[in-house]
């Protein structure tokens, strides 16, 4: 498969404001869009009119309507919530619908290319199916028996709050795209990636859950490959603190379970007591 070149990956995507001021300002800007499929491709330049308030996805739609009807692009909500329009804009993994043209320099062509970490389908669309297969490998939510005869549970609000952040994930997979373990080292068979460390953390830290995913995280899911570079955190459009709040606590649990016999005993006792 021919893939586009890798520009720099620094920078944090910012959530665009909900509404933009109306303006008649307009100018022509060039969008350098990757066109091709798994057999190969190249960047094509598309000059198009832009105006204040437009996002990159607007420009792509305009190009699709006026100049390249067969341009493949995946999107759905145009509101930063479906996670469909992930791409690399000027080399940075971002949502096209949340990247305002006003945040980019239009003096040079704006490059728009598919996420590099996943196989290319066509143009800006990649095959994300590996992510769905990975998710199935993670032990599902396993609640303890109800606390009361009416089938209800009692949990602390603080414990609920702790996992709330993880549930904001829109599965855009920008974090998977930027992670060097997947992107550069192609460890897809042995590493589940930051999105699924967030998913596993949400389950492991859930106040009702009694499953133990720590052995799998160590042995099959490759958490040891993560060297805490925080690139994943820096691109997350939901501002989830992936590394500090999900990955590092999971790594600590691996250490407790495998390298601290006393901690392991306490954990086993605690799980037995809850179950
Ligand atoms: S912190 Fe870990 S999971 Fe996140 S990008 Fe870096 S290596 Fe990947
Ligand atoms: S953790 Fe953030 S970057 Fe990763 S898939 Fe979820 S929303 Fe996207
Ligand atoms: S179109 Fe839904 S997140 Fe961009």
| DSSP per residue, 41-94 | EEEEEEEEEEETT-BHHHHHHHHHHHT-TT-----S-SSS-S---EEEETTEEE
Residue 158 burial by Cβ neighbours in a 10 Å radius (0-12, 13-18, 19+): exposed
Burial of 98-126, coded b for 16+ CB within 10 Å and e otherwise, reads bbbbeeeeeeebbbbbbbbbbebebbbbb
Ligand 3 center from residue 168 Cα (angstroms): 14
Q: Which of 60, 61, 94, 95 has most ligand 3 atoms within 8 Å of its beta carbon, as the pocket-test mutant?
A: 95
Nearest CA, atom 8, ligand 2? 172
CA distance 53 to 180: 33
Atom of ligand 3 nearest to the CA of 96: 4
Q: Measured in whole angstroms, how far is the alpha carbon of residue 181 from the centre of its chain? A: 14
Q: Which of 77, 112, 115 has most ligand 3 atoms within 8 Å of its beta carbon, as the pocket-test mutant?
A: 77
- Reported pTM: 0.87
Ligand 1 center from residue 5 Cα (angstroms): 21
β-pairing verdict for 92-95 and 86-89: antiparallel
Q: Which of 54, 74, 84 has most ligand 3 atoms within 8 Å of its beta carbon, as the pocket-test mutant?
A: 84
Looking at residue 274, its pLDDT comes to: 54
CA distance 199 to 135: 8
Q: Which of 61, 64, 97 has most ligand 3 atoms within 8 Å of its beta carbon, as the pocket-test mutant?
A: 97
Burial of 61-76, coded b for 16+ CB within 10 Å and e otherwise, reads bbbbeeeeeebebbbe
CA distance 275 to 11: 45
Nearest CA, atom 7, ligand 2? 169
Nearest CA, atom 8, ligand 1? 179
Looking at residue 272, its pLDDT comes to: 58
Contact, 132 vs 48, CB < 8 A?
A: no
Q: Which numbered ligand comes closest to the C-alpha of 58?
A: 3
Atom of ligand 2 nearest to the CA of 242: 1
CA distance 239 to 233: 7
Q: Residue 217's CB: how many other CB atoms inside 10 A? A: 25
Looking at residue 259, its pLDDT comes to: 84
Looking at residue 184, its pLDDT comes to: 97
Q: Per residue of the chain (275 residues), give pLDDT as tens.
A: 334 444 334 333 444 433 444 455 799 999 999 999 999 999 999 999 999 999 999 999 999 999 999 999 999 999 999 999 999 999 999 999 999 999 999 999 999 999 999 999 999 999 999 999 999 999 999 999 999 999 999 999 999 999 999 999 999 999 999 999 999 999 999 999 999 999 999 999 999 999 999 999 999 999 999 999 999 999 999 999 999 999 999 999 999 988 877 766 776 666 655 54
Longest dimension (CA), the chain: 68
Cβ < 6 Å from ligand 3: which residues? Answer: 75-78, 80-85, 95, 97
Long-range contacts of residues 160-164, Cβ cutoff 8 Å, at least 24 apart: 160/207, 162/205, 163/201, 163/202, 163/205, 163/206
Nearest CA, atom 6, ligand 2? 169
């Amino acid at each position: 498969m021919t893939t586009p070149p890798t520009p720099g990956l620094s920078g944090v995507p910012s959530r665009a404001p909900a509404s933009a001021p109306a303006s008649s300002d307009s100018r022509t800007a060039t969008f350098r869009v990757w066109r091709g499929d798994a057999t190969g491709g190249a960047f094509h330049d598309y000059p198009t009119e832009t105006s204040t308030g437009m996002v990159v996805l607007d420009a792509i739609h305009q190009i699709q309507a006026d100049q390249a009807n067969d341009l493949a692009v995946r999107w759905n909500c145009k509101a930063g919530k479906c996670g469909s329009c992930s791409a690399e804009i000027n080399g940075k993994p971002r949502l096209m619908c949340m990247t305002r043209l006003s945040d980019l320099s239009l003096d040079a062509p704006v490059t728009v290319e598919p996420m590099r970490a996943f196989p290319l389908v066509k143009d800006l669309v990649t095959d994300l199916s590996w992510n769905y297969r990975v998710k199935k490998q993670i032990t599902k939510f396993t609640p303890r028996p109800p606390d009361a005869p009416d089938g209800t549970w009692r949990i602390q609000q603080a414990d609920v709050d702790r996992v709330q952040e993880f549930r904001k994930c829109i599965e855009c997979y920008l974090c998977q795209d930027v992670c060097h373990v997947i992107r550069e080292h192609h460890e897809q068979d042995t590493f589940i990636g930051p999105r699924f460390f967030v998913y596993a953390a949400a389950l492991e830290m859930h106040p009702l859950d009694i499953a133990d995913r720590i052995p799998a995280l160590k042995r099959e899911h490759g958490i040891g490959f993560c060297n805490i570079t925080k690139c994943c955190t820096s691109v997350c459009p939901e501002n989830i603190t992936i590394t500090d709040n999900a990955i590092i606590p999971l790594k600590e649990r691996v250490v407790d379970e495998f390298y601290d016999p006393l901690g392991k005993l306490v954990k086993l006792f605690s799980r037995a007591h809850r179950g």
